[in-house]
Structure formats: C-alpha cells, structure tokens
Amino acid sequence: MSMSQKRQKNHFFESAVFSRRNFLRKSAAAGLGMSMSGKILKAGQIHPGHKPEPIRAGALDKVRMGFVGVGLQGSAHVRNFLKIDKVEIKAVCDIVPEKVERIQAWVRDAGQSTPTGYTKGEYDFLHLCERGDLDLVVTATPWKWHVPVCVAAMKNGKHAATEVPAAVTLDACWELVETSEKTQKHCVMLENCCYSRRALLILNLVRKGKLGEVINGTCGYLHDLREVKFNGKDEALWRTAHSITRNGNLYPTHGLGPVAEAMDINRGDGFDYLVSMSSVSRGLRLYAAEKFGVTDPAAARRYALGDVNISLIRTKKGRTITVFHDCSSPRPYSRIDRIQGTRGIIEGYPDRVHIEGSSPQHEWEEFEAYEKEFGHPLWQNLEKLAKGAGHGGMDFLEDFRLIDALLHGRYPDMDVYDAAAWSVVSELSERSVANKSRPMDFPDFTRGAWKTNPRIFIADM
C-alpha cells in the first residue's frame, strides 16, 4: 500500500460518516431513521391517502439512459447496455472526471454520440436528472446515494434503477415506494443474483411443482471482503464505514432475492417479522493487525459489525427464511441458495438437488440431471449474448430484462416493493440486534396488495 493510500485510509477511519451511538438511541426511542432531508417519513406522508396501484408505463421506441456512478460495477453495466439494441447513453455522472471520460470513449467507440459528462461534485447528478432527453437513470454509487439519485430521477419523470441495496433505512424504503407511486415511474433494484443459472433453475422447479410446497429458504452473503475493506480504494472508501458503526445484516438482497421470488413474496405471501443476532466482532481487527501492524489505527479501531449475523424471517403464510451475513471471515464465497419443499430440496455451493420419487433415496443428485428439462429458457435464449458479462453473465440478463420491459411496456421482473422489502432487512436486523434479538415487524409496503398481486418475476417464461 502506498503512502497516499495509507493517508487516505487513516483519514477515512477518522471521519466515518455514521454514528452507532446515535443510531441505537434513535432505534430505542423512536424506532425510525432519518431521511436525507432530516424529516421522519412514514407511510402515506409523501402523499396521504394514496393507495398502491401498479405502475402503467407505455412502451418506448428506445431507451435513453443516464448513468450516475461509473466505477467498477457502474462501468460493467455500461458495457452490458451498449450491447443491447435500442439503447442510447446520453449522460454520465461521476465525481472522478477520468471515469466519465472513459465511458464517453466507450460510447463513441460503440457508434453513439458522446454523452454529456457531469463531474462537478457530489450533487451534479441532480442536473443530469433534470435533462429532458432521458427515460432511465441508473445509479451504481456508494449506498447512501442510491435513494437520492432514484428519487431525483423519478421526480424528474424518469424511471430509476439502482445497485443493491436499494436503501439502508426504513424511511428511505418508504420514500422510494411512495415516490414511485406518486410519479408512476418504475424504481427497480438491480439484483443480479435473481438471474443466476442456479436461481432460475430453482424458480423453474418451484413453479412446476417439483419441490412441492416451499417451506423454508436458507440464504446469505458469505464473502471474504477483508482485503476489499482495507485496500484504500474503491469500496474501501465508503463500505468499511458501515462495518465500523453498524451491526446487523447489512447486505441481505443477494441471497434473499431468489428465495423471495421462489416464495412469491409480495405476490401471494409477504414478510411478517424478523429476529436477528450477531456474533462478536473479531475478523476485521485481526486482519488489520496482521496486514498493517497492531499499532495501526485500522487494527486498534473497534468494529461494531459482528463477524456473523443470522437473521430469521417468518412469512405471513408461516414459511421461514434464514439469512446469513459474513464478510469478515476467511472462507470461500457462498450464497447458500437453499430451498426446502415438501417434495424435495435444492441448494448451491456445491450445487445439488434431491427430489422425492425421482432422486435415489437419501442421495443427492447433480444439477445436470435436471438442467436439460428444467433449465430456465431465459438462459437458453440469452447465454451467447451474456457470455463474458459480469458475475457469470447474470449481470447482462438483469440489464437486458429491464430494457426489454421498458421497450415493450411490460412490468419489470422486480418492482419497487421488492426493492423495499428486501432492503429493509438491513435496518430491521440492526434494531433486533440492538434490542436482544427482539422480533421486528416488517412494514407492508404493498398495503395489503400482496394478497392479490399476480406473479411478476419472469412471468413470461
């Protein structure tokens, strides 16, 4: 690590933007976080009396796009969208001018006009959102900017799409939901893991009844991010702050999204309540001490985030979901991806399946036994185009499906209610951990519509 990176790291640790003490005080006293404007938001406050109604957006002849945040994941999205027909990239925003210039060159190389660049500080995205020639704004920024960018886009008449999580507080989730309803613009969370080959095979097996009635899901985000959090660049410049001041399930959507789709959450079932518990915090301090020395500020600092968080969710229909979070331990990557039904079980890491009456008794089978018959047609149709795209190609599938929905006036696979329900696990888990694992009720972002909502995700499969 260079001296400049060390200075940047140490400055970061001394100026973390969150206060755990303030969070716990608010959690105990009011049970609500604060919005960007400092006002407490509750359901219906943005437009009282409004009832949820499916967004009806007409088909577009082409999708004119603006990007906010074009670092690692943002630039990967740009590469995907440049491969999709009828997409025009008109504007790019980032606080680092060189990143904007790189994207401008990519767009020109693809045969399009140079997109306008926005690099004048953290709030220059507001000027991008005010443009009249955009249909969709995509953000891949640090987490705290996801909601401000999406809200600005929707209030200026654009659809919005954001990297995960969509929000980190309850009030911010409500703000996304109610802004989407009021403006009648889609707000989609780009949860790529719902498009993995495994997740779509599981979905297909569930939809065709091969697993029987789904009873339980086990999932999580188990990813050794110790090096990422201390490398002095990219996500280390903001993600580590969450580990310093927050204790809960901070990144639930990668694992939870596919389970929620398999259980028809928001479309026949809903999350009811959650309990959460965290282990002690050891991994980040140990890693920092070994890498930088025991006297380094990173090694001496206390980290609020427990190494392993386990959150348990019960649904309205009595199903259960276990959601793990562990980014501080030495371990191979896993999302678990387990679905248990009354007739069988399927899981990942390693991939294996057992279906009663089909599999040998008490034995696992490999996926290949079911891939030919039950592999999802989305992969069969788009595999060649997805080749080489991020995360094994599933990034391309999520981007393609979003554009396809906008071009055809079709409801997107995942909507703002999904974004809110999956993301709000973050704050609910923090509250539960801070209160000796007491149950925390989920808000019903659909206001009862989950009982009658039709299935959406890959409904045209």
Domain residue ranges of the chain, discontinuous segments joined by +: 194-377+414-451
| Measured distance CA(270)–CA(446) in Å, rounded | 9
| Measured distance CA(218)–CA(206) in Å, rounded | 15
pLDDT at 38: 37
- Kindly report the average pLDDT of the chain as a whole number: 90
pTM for this entry: 0.91
pLDDT at 127: 98
Which H or E run includes 286? helix 283-292
State mean pLDDT over 311-326: 98
Nearest to 312 by CA among 248, 267, 229: 248
pLDDT at 380: 87
DSSP calls for 32-84? ----TTS----TTSSSTTPPP--------SSEEEEEE--SHHHHHHHHHHTTS
Taking 50 as the threshold, does the pLDDT of residue 423 lie above it?
yes
Any residues with CB less than 8 A from the CB of 140 and at least 6 apart, and which?
67, 68, 69, 70, 71, 73, 74, 77, 162, 163
Any residues with CB less than 8 A from the CB of 298 and at least 6 apart, and which?
9, 10, 13, 230, 288, 292
Q: Cis link prior to 439 (omega < 30° from 0)?
A: no
State mean pLDDT over 265-287: 98
pLDDT at 57: 87
pLDDT at 450: 96
Strand partners, 136: 65, 159
Any residues with CB less than 8 A from the CB of 339 and at least 6 apart, and which?
202, 206, 211, 214, 216, 217, 259, 262, 345, 346, 347
| Measured distance CA(429)–CA(108) in Å, rounded | 45
Taking 80 as the threshold, does the pLDDT of residue 438 lie above it?
yes
pLDDT at 31: 36
State mean pLDDT over 414-427: 98
Taking 90 as the threshold, does the pLDDT of residue 311 lie above it?
yes
| Measured distance CA(239)–CA(165) in Å, rounded | 12
116-118: strand order across its sheet: 116-118, 87-93, 63-68, 136-139, 159-162, 187-189
| Measured distance CA(407)–CA(386) in Å, rounded | 19
Contact yes or no for 378/200 (Cβ under 8 A): yes
pLDDT band at 3 (very low <50, low <70, confident <90, very high): very low
Nearest to 254 by CA among 172, 181, 305, 327: 327
Any residues with CB less than 8 A from the CB of 185 and at least 6 apart, and which?
55, 57, 153, 154, 157, 158, 159, 160
Contact yes or no for 206/217 (Cβ under 8 A): no
Taking 50 as the threshold, does the pLDDT of residue 324 lie above it?
yes
pLDDT at 23: 42
CATH, range 194-377+414-451: 3.30.360.10
Nearest to 205 by CA among 368, 456, 374, 358: 374
Nearest to 188 by CA among 274, 122, 257, 267: 257
